[in-house]
């Protein structure tokens, strides 16, 4: 019970209200009982005073023989007792209720002293003597009223108790309904549920508190959503950072592996020449081979430095408007000799005035890598198709070469660092293994979509660029 009272506001208010109502009812009952006797006596004194004064005036014109009749009639009429005394305080007669209640041999003076005098008046009769008249009120009516109150006390108490319970229940429900609603809202807010709202229509302090809770709930919900969004972004950033770190570790591992092979070859050739072992006695021949290996290592180091430059956190693109049609034509001219040596034929379809917004040096590297790969992997005496055209707000560059199809599972790996389908890595197809990887990085920096796919003729690469006006948006 104590725990119930401590933990529930409605129980506290209900008990306090019942106690207050019972206390007030008891106080009212006591005041009625006390006030009844006091008000009766006051009224009795006032009435007797008026009537007695009239009787005294009447007695002044009455003889001694007629006085008894007048006093008896007056006492019976008003339900009081009258005592007549002479000037020496000697009792001459008693009239009214007191006259009939005296037992034989009773000391009248003791009775008078114990009863108390309501009023005392002096009266001079026609014989010239002065008499004292003492008037005593009757408490019987008051006693009857008090007895009646005592008899109805149990019923009155029961009614008061039930009324107190009913009133306390209604009052408690009215007072605590809004408070309990506020408590419910705050409890759900504590559990991070900010969808609940205070809906009571009140304009007092509790209503203001409910509105403040609604406003707080909205702000907390907004802050929580924002926090969740930032947390999601942070998780994505952490995940991306982890992926970049893994890619970096994989990249450096691949770099170590790629450099290890030519270094081992170069070391073996130089050692063989120094010791003049077998065929290594022909130094001119193996010096040329060593030079080719060193040159290959130099190209690879340059590509690695290029990758490192792009992946630097402070790296920024130098975007300008460049004519893509001229850039593609220049790259093809630079690598045309390599194509001629392998008997390859270029088929060029380039639209004029195809401008894009990009980093000129980096995008030149992209076109050079893609064209170089096409030349390197096209079949002997094969064909290469190159095109640039406008499609809506996009500028499309594509290149297709005659070669064997690639397994669909291998296509997503083509742009990985040091990945080459040709495992033999012979002189025709051997390279740093970073060309397409660098191409992918540059295109991602520019946010240019690209795709590599098999066709009926061979392999096709398509890059979607944006016009300068679209890029500026």
- Higher-pLDDT residue of 102 and 459 is 459
Look at the chain and report how many structural domains it folds into.
Answer: 2
Check which CATH number belongs to the domain holding 324 and give it.
3.30.565.10
Give the mean pLDDT of 204-227.
79
Nearest Cα to 21, choosing from 173, 169, 177? 169
In the block, residue with structure tokens 């490192």? 308
Query: Which range, of 114-128, 248-262, 445-459, averages the lowest pLDDT?
Result: 114-128
**How far is CA 50 from its chain centroid?**
81
Whether residue 291 lies inside any domain: the answer is no
404 in a structural domain: yes
Residue 372 or residue 176, greater confidence: 372
Q: pLDDT for 322-346, tens place per residue?
A: 999 999 999 999 888 888 888 999 9
Domain end marker among 144, 165, 198: 144
In a domain, 109, yes or no: yes
374 versus 173: the higher-pLDDT residue is 374
Structure-token pair, residue 28: 């009212």
Q: Identify whether 377 is part of a domain.
A: yes
Q: Comparing 69 with 342, which gets the higher pLDDT?
A: 342
| Residue 289 token pair | 């081979």
Asked if the model's pLDDT at residue 445 lies above 70, the reply is yes
pLDDT band, very low/low/confident/very high, at 428 (cuts 50, 70, 90): very low
Question: Is residue 460, in this structure, part of any structural domain at all?
Answer: yes
Identify the domain containing residue 403 by its residue range. Answer: 316-472
Domain boundary among the residues 94, 119, 144 is at 144
CB atoms within 10 A of CB 303: 21
Backbone dihedral region of 151: left (phi > 0), alpha (psi from -120 to 50 degrees) or beta? Answer: alpha
Question: Does 384 fall in a domain?
Answer: yes
- Confidence (pTM): 0.47
Tens digit of each residue's pLDDT (9 = 90 or more) over 92-104: 777 776 665 555 5
414 neighbors 423 (Cβ within 8 angstroms): no
Q: Rounded CA gap, 442 and 432, in Å?
A: 17
251-309 pLDDT tens trace: 676 667 667 777 887 888 788 888 877 777 777 787 888 887 788 777 777 777 777 77
Instruction: Write down which residue in 144, 172, 205 finishes a domain.
Output: 144
* 448/429 Cα distance (integer angstroms): 27
């Amino acid at each position: 019970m104590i725990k119930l009272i401590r933990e529930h506001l409605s129980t506290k208010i209900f008990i306090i209200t019942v106690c207050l109502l019972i206390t007030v009812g008891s106080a009212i009952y006591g005041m009625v009982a006390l006030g009844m006797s006091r008000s009766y006596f006051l009224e009795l004194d006032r009435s007797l005073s008026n009537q007695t004064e009239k009787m005294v005036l009447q007695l002044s014109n009455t003889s001694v023989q007629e006085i008894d009749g007048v006093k008896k009639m007056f006492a019976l009429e008003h339900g009081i007792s009258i005592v007549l005394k002479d000037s020496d305080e000697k009792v001459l007669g008693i009239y009214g209720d007191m006259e009939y209640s005296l037992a034989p041999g009773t000391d009248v003076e003791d009775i008078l002293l114990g009863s108390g005098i309501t009023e005392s008046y002096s009266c001079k009769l026609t014989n010239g003597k002065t008499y004292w008249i003492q008037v005593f009120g009757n408490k019987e009516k008051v006693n009857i009223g008090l007895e009646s109150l005592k008899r109805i006390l149990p019923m009155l108490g029961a009614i008061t108790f039930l009324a107190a319970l009913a009133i306390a229940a209604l009052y408690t429900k009215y007072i605590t309904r809004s408070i309990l609603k506020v408590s419910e809202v705050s409890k759900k807010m504590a559990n991070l549920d900010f969808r609940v709202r205070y809906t009571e229509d009140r304009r007092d302090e509790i209503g203001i508190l409910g509105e403040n809770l609604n406003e707080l709930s909205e702000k907390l919900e907004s802050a929580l959503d924002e926090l969740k969004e930032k947390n999601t972004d942070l998780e994505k950033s952490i995940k991306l950072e982890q992926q970049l770190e893994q890619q970096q570790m994989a990249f450096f591992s691949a770099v170590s592996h790629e450099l290890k092979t030519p270094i081992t070859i170069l070391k073996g050739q130089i050692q063989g020449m120094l010791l003049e072992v077998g065929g290594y006695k022909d130094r001119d021949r193996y010096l040329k081979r060593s030079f080719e290996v060193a040159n290959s290592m130099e190209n690879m180091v340059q590509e690695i430095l290029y990758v490192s430059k792009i992946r630097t956190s402070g790296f920024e693109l130098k975007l300008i408007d460049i004519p893509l049609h001229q850039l593609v034509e220049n790259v093809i001219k630079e690598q045309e000799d390599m194509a001629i040596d392998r008997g390859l034929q270029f088929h060029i379809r380039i639209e004029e005035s195809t401008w894009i917004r990009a980093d000129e040096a980096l995008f030149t590297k992209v076109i050079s890598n893609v064209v170089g790969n096409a030349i390197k992997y096209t079949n002997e005496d094969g064909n290469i198709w190159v095109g640039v055209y406008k499609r809506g707000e996009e500028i499309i560059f594509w290149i297709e070469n005659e070669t064997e199809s690639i397994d669909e599972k291998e296509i997503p790996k083509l742009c990985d660092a040091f990945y080459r389908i040709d495992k033999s890595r012979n002189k025709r197809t051997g390279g740093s293994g970073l060309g397409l990887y660098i191409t992918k990085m540059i295109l991602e920096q520019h946010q240019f979509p690209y795709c590599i796919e098999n066709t009926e003729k061979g392999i096709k690469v398509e890059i979607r660029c944006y016009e300068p006006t679209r890029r500026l948006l």
